[in-house]
Amino acid sequence: MNGSRRDFLATGSALVLAGGAGCLGSDNPGSSGPRVFTSFFTLYEFTRNVAGEAITIDTAVPAGEHGHGWEPPTNLLPEIVEADAFVYLDADGFQPWAEDAAGEIEANYDDDVMLIDALEGIELLEYESDHHEAYDHDSTDHEYGSVAELELIDRDSGQVVAYYHFDHWHGTVPTLEPGAVLELRTRFLDGANERFPLDGDSYRVDARIDDRDSTESLELEAHDEYIRLEGNETDIVGVYFELWEGDERAWESAPITVTVDNHGDEPLEPDHGLLDVKFFSDPVLAQDGVRNIRDGLIELDPDNESVYEDNAGTYIDELEALHGEFRSELTDRDHDFVVLGAHDSFNYLGTRYGFEIETPVGLSPDDEPSSTDIAAAVDLIDEYEIEYVLWDYFDGERTAEAIVSESEHATETAMVTPAESYVEAWSDDGYGDYIGQMREINLPAFKKALGGE
């Protein structure tokens, strides 16, 4: 360790603490036990249910804010290193400020502050087509239908770094240094999630640089199902990916940005932004997060091991009961599709209970649906005669209302919550906690959306 947290606070007095960031405050502020700082509401909920009255718990994200979209207006590190442990999700891009804080703690305050990763050991889902695309929203005469999605996969790591869906890109192509080579495997999928065979006889892949950009900075070469990119000169260019059927260009993406930049000796790293870390929408996986927190608190405060074991056991039983309610209530339904007019926070919920979530927005709340996105969602609604379109309280109802207004069958909207924050009114009504939100808000909404009533 390079210095104590007390040293940090003595030299960092100009930094404003969490009080200026609108934090939720402390649970059990009078406790004489350890103090734990959590990175957002859901982890606060899990931690307080394990800790009981043995620990003082703080969290930063204010009521009414997305846990992953919120950024502190001031540096929270001085407040965090005053705690004995920091509970967070060790995942790239979910909460950048929390990741930075964890890195600083690991480098300089590891003897003072324990890091508890609630994600440890939980297998994450990739945000890709097999859970979001089960219908052909564009008719063509091609044997395999229209291209519903294109995935770009780093050949070395095997990870999806970007994908094209509903006429726009998600993710990024890793930055190339001049002289560096990146090979991307392409996977074209139709509306039934069938792969186009890139054997050269039926279909082949190609790529081209935007006519408005320099062709000197980046070289492209297609072979089999791969596109080889080689950086030459520092620049930013747009690259189109194409699917050819014989001598005819059957499909073309919008351009994706490729950056060639010399950033020293840092190795190129794959983009992890396509891993969905919102495991807590699934009451079963939520139990694994609780167990991770329990184990961390026992390591932090072994004198209270039995307290944490008992409290965690009780809360896990409650989560298991919640799982039983979802399983029972969502079994009898008219169809297996949910249309969500918001970014997708429910991938794990759909996977657990066997339904597919279609959203024109995508994984990030910053994504904006186009008219094409809306039309595709309307096509699905009209095909399956879906009556309810869901909307996320923290994203707003506008997109859901736009979908309903364009549909012949949808007549109502219903609100859901990602359960990663809360509002005071829900607490006043008795369901501001994680389980309360899942039971009183999400369960009836998803039942309606699936035609269960």
Per-residue pLDDT tens, the chain, 453 aa: give them: 344 443 433 333 222 223 333 344 455 554 568 999 999 999 999 999 999 999 999 988 888 777 777 788 777 889 999 999 999 999 877 888 899 999 999 999 989 999 999 999 998 887 643 333 333 333 344 455 578 889 999 998 888 888 887 567 777 899 999 999 999 999 998 766 678 999 878 899 999 999 888 889 999 999 999 999 999 999 999 999 999 998 899 999 989 999 998 754 343 333 334 678 999 999 999 999 999 999 999 999 999 999 999 999 999 999 999 999 999 999 999 999 999 998 888 999 998 999 989 888 755 555 667 777 788 889 999 989 999 999 999 889 999 999 999 999 899 999 999 999 999 999 999 999 999 999 999 999 999 999 987
Kindly report the number of other CB atoms within 10 A of residue 452's CB atom. Answer: 16
Tell me what pLDDT residue 361 has.
76
Contact between 46 and 118 under an 8 Å Cβ cutoff? The reply is yes
Q: What is the pLDDT of residue 166?
A: 56
Please give the Cα distance from 310 to 174 (Å, whole number): 46
Full DSSP string of 230-251: EE-SSEEEEEEEEEEETTEEEE
Please report, as a single letter, which amino acid is at residue 352. R
Distance CA 34, CA 73 (A): 27
pLDDT at 183: 96
| Structure tokens belonging to residue 390 | 């869901």
Give the model's pLDDT for residue 212: 85
Distance CA(107)–CA(110), nearest Å, equals: 7
The CA–CA distances, whole Å, from 226 to 5, 167, 271 equal 50, 21, 18
113, 254, 287 from 105: Cα distances, Å: 7, 41, 26
Residue 130: both structure tokens together: 């097999």
What phi, psi does 392 have (nearest 5°)?
-90, 125
CA angle 287, 131, 319 (to 5 degrees): 15
Q: Which of 409, 287, 397, 307 is nearest to 352 (CA)?
A: 287
Using the structure block, give the residue that is written with the tokens 């919102």: 278
- C-alpha to C-alpha distance for 386 and 384, rounded to whole angstroms: 6
Backbone angles phi, psi at 18, to 5 degrees: -65, -20
Between CA 41 and CA 52 the distance in angstroms is 16
The domain made up of 129-273 has a fold known as Immunoglobulin-like (2.60.40)
- State the pLDDT at residue 63: 83
pLDDT at 192: 65
Q: How far apart are CA 441 and CA 217, in angstroms?
A: 52
What local confidence, expressed as pLDDT, does residue 199 receive? 84
- Show me where the domains of the chain are located: 5-123+282-317, 129-273, 330-449
CATH value of 330-449 in 3.10.180.10, 3.40.50.1700, 3.40.50.1110, 3.40.50.1980: 3.40.50.1980
Domain range 5-123+282-317, CATH class: alpha beta
Whether the domain at 5-123+282-317 and the domain at 330-449 fall into the same CATH topology = yes
Between CA 17 and CA 76 the distance in angstroms is: 6
Among 232, 136, 74, which Cα is nearest to 149's?
136
Question: What is the token pair recorded at 22?
Answer: 């609108």
Among 45, 4, 23, CA closest to 438: 45
Give me the pLDDT at residue 27, please.
55
